[in-house]
Amino acid sequence: MPSDRKSAKSPKSDSKAKTAATPAPDEPTPAEEVPPAPLAYQSLLPHPTPSERIARGKVARQDAPRSSQAAWSTWPERPDPIGILETQAATRMIDLVPIRYGRMASSPFAFFRGGAAIMASDLAATTRTGLRVQTCGDAHLVNFGIFAAPERSLIFDINDFDETLPGPWEWDIKRLAASFEVSMRDRGFDKASRRNALLAGVKSYRDAMAEFSEMTNLEVWYARLGVEDMQAELAALNANKQAKIITKSVDKAQFKNNLGALDKLTVMVDGEPRIVSEPPLIVPAAELLHGEELDRFTDTIHSFLRSYALSLPDDRRHLLESYEFKQIARKVVGVGSVGMRSWIVLTVGRDTSDPLFLQLKQAEESVLERFVGRSRYRNHGRRVVEGQRLMQAASDIILGWYKVLAFDGKWHDFYVRQLWDGKASFDMTRLPEAAFASYARACFWTLARAHARTGDRIAISAYLGPNDLFDNAIADFAYIYALQNELDHQALLAAIKSGRVEARMGI
């Protein structure tokens, strides 16, 4: 957090695809990717004064009254939600798609997690203020958590950027709010408790944006929510049970590093670590490919590493080159991401006790693009990386991207990050009811910080105003949309029962 001047306060609590890594013939080097293009806030140039930015925010109320943010209703031409999922499945690994459906079918909240494309389509029909930021695009409550910053302190931040793109700031707010409503409904919490948590969260966003609007640009950029800040606040409020939850998550984060991954994901064979085989979730490449295909795949790994290294600054490239490739395996991750091409790579440094696990994850067009415009980046892996760097207070030092030609004859974009880097999330199935309001404040504060870095924080704050009109509108929207999500979840169950889609449950 900034310490030399006024700082943003932390939220206060109240009571199979087999791939070859041949570089694409037209793939530019990172510096040649595309000519400069407008950023999320480019429409503000030349730089207006604070008073002009305040006026812009208040004018936005005329086109998008704050109370109108509550509006949601289905319409006859609303796209079939299962059809949207089937469209996504067409580009995914066919043997893994049933796992995705099975995971989404497990509960309304699991369906919501996998339904970012459905909600993007729905949000396109809602009120827009015209104020743009770098959006997360999938800002649900499980996409926030703890991870280690480069200096190794633990911070709380957004941790998933697969759908990131410049777009309407209020779409992130609505998806985050709806995720809380859906999750709490899944837990059986009453309506009053759900609404109180939501109002606390949106108020945290509004208050944080007001404070960010008074800060210097650098102060906003330096703001972060440290885990120790969360613990201190809860201790001051005698919220001992909630503090213990954070402590448990901190302990988990401290184990989820490269050594922890080595212990959990490998076995020693003839003195060498080998990635475990747990099909269909973890499958070493040697079990997916055979003969010449495997030889060709293995030979291309070094080509992939060179391609990925080009996206890194020189110092990080030097660090990467100090590690030796050992093995690669396919790994299924998440809910909405199931079926996307995802690999883990084991490399070692000075010896086998110095591992570095990389996660290679396919990146496709953001679910927002058809509604808000294409990304400025031709490589969607870079879209993800650049969006993450913009929105996070601190990012993985070896984030990068590359493009490969798969055995299906198509080029695919990927981004690369450390598999485990002190990451931990809160188990929402066990989080006590009383803790949801505190967790909502942390998530919405963090989202406000990300939006303040990349959009017009002064105009957004002016639009929000000092009262709770916007807060209540978002809580109303979340309630209504949660009901729609339950209907869509039932539609998936019906599609599974009828045989329209195949689901593998419990994986």
pLDDT per residue over 165-218, tens digit each? 999 999 999 999 999 999 999 999 999 999 999 999 999 999 999 999 999 999
Two tokens at 42?
Answer: 């480019």
Q: CB burial class (10 A; 0-12, 13-18, 19+) of residue 433?
A: middle
Look at strands 411-418 and 154-158 and give their pairing.
unpaired
Looking at residue 145, its pLDDT comes to 86
Higher-pLDDT residue of 301, 486? 486
Tell me how many degrees the CA angle 210-435-188 measures, rounded to the nearest 5.
Answer: 115
Looking at residue 210, its pLDDT comes to 98
Looking at residue 466, its pLDDT comes to 95
Arithmetic mean of pLDDT, 308-325: 92
Looking at residue 3, its pLDDT comes to 37
Asked if 142 and 76 touch (Cβ cutoff 8 Å), the reply is no
Beta strand spans in 128-281 (E)? 132-135, 144-148, 154-158, 165-168, 225-226, 266-269, 272-275
Over 2-66, what HEC string results? CCCCCCCCCCCCCCCCCEECCCCCCCCCHHHCCCCCCCCCHHHCCCCCHHHHHHHHHHHHHHCCH
- Per-residue confidence at 22, pLDDT binned at 50, 70, 90? very low
- Per-residue confidence at 502, pLDDT binned at 50, 70, 90? very high
Looking at residue 258, its pLDDT comes to 72
* pLDDT higher than threshold 50 for residue 467: yes
Give the residue from 168, 6, 187, 36 showing the smallest Cα distance to 109. Answer: 187
Looking at residue 29, its pLDDT comes to 45
* pLDDT higher than threshold 60 for residue 37: no
Q: Is the pTM of this model over 0.75?
A: yes
Mean pLDDT of the chain: 86
Quickly tell me which residue has 């909405």 as its tokens. Answer: 336
Looking at residue 230, its pLDDT comes to 72
Strongest mean pLDDT among 106-110, 288-292, 331-335: 106-110
Separation in Å, CA 162 to CA 166, 368, 502: 13, 11, 25
- Of 50-54, 186-190, 407-411, which range is least confident? 407-411
Asked if 71 and 126 touch (Cβ cutoff 8 Å), the reply is yes
Count other Cβ atoms within 10 Å, centred on residue 83: 12
Contacts of 464 (CB under 8 A, 6+ apart): 57, 66, 205, 206, 209, 210, 470
Percent of the chain with pLDDT over 90: 63
Looking at residue 433, its pLDDT comes to 86
HSE-up of residue 133 (Cα within 13 Å, Cβ side): 29
Q: Which helix (H) or strand (E) holds 363?
A: strand 355-363
- Per-residue confidence at 370, pLDDT binned at 50, 70, 90? very high
Give the residue from 216, 127, 129, 143 showing the smallest Cα distance to 179. Answer: 143
Give the residue from 12, 435, 13, 427 showing the smallest Cα distance to 193. Answer: 435
Looking at residue 234, its pLDDT comes to 61
* pLDDT higher than threshold 60 for residue 338: yes
Looking at residue 189, its pLDDT comes to 96
Looking at residue 271, its pLDDT comes to 87
Give the residue from 219, 286, 217 showing the smallest Cα distance to 7. Answer: 219
Over the stretch 76-88, which tens digit does the pLDDT of each residue have?
Answer: 999 999 999 999 9
Quickly tell me which residue has 């930021």 as its tokens. Answer: 133
- Per-residue confidence at 5, pLDDT binned at 50, 70, 90? very low
Arithmetic mean of pLDDT, 117-122: 98
* pLDDT higher than threshold 70 for residue 416: yes
- Per-residue confidence at 43, pLDDT binned at 50, 70, 90? low
- Per-residue confidence at 427, pLDDT binned at 50, 70, 90? confident
DSSP letter assigned to residue 397: T
Higher-pLDDT residue of 242, 443? 443
Looking at residue 171, its pLDDT comes to 98
- Per-residue confidence at 429, pLDDT binned at 50, 70, 90? confident
Q: Is 291 left (phi over 0), alpha (psi -120 to 50) or beta?
A: left
Arithmetic mean of pLDDT, 248-269: 74
Per-residue burial over 294-333, b if 16 or more Cβ lie within 10 Å, else e, is eeebeebbeebbebbbbbbeeebbeebeebeebbbbbbbe
Arithmetic mean of pLDDT, 37-60: 78
Give the residue from 250, 202, 281 showing the smallest Cα distance to 471. Answer: 202
Arithmetic mean of pLDDT, 132-144: 96
In whole angstroms, give the CA distance from residue 448 to residue 291.
52
Higher-pLDDT residue of 441, 295? 441
- Of 124-138, 164-178, 252-266, 408-422, which range is least confident? 252-266
- Of 131-135, 249-253, 454-458, which range is least confident? 249-253
Looking at residue 155, its pLDDT comes to 85
Contacts of 53 (CB under 8 A, 6+ apart): 44, 456, 458, 459, 462
Where helices occur in 266-313 by DSSP H, the ranges are: 285-288, 291-309
- Per-residue confidence at 316, pLDDT binned at 50, 70, 90? very high
Amino acid at position 251, single letter: D
In whole angstroms, give the CA distance from residue 377 to residue 365.
10
* pLDDT higher than threshold 70 for residue 334: yes
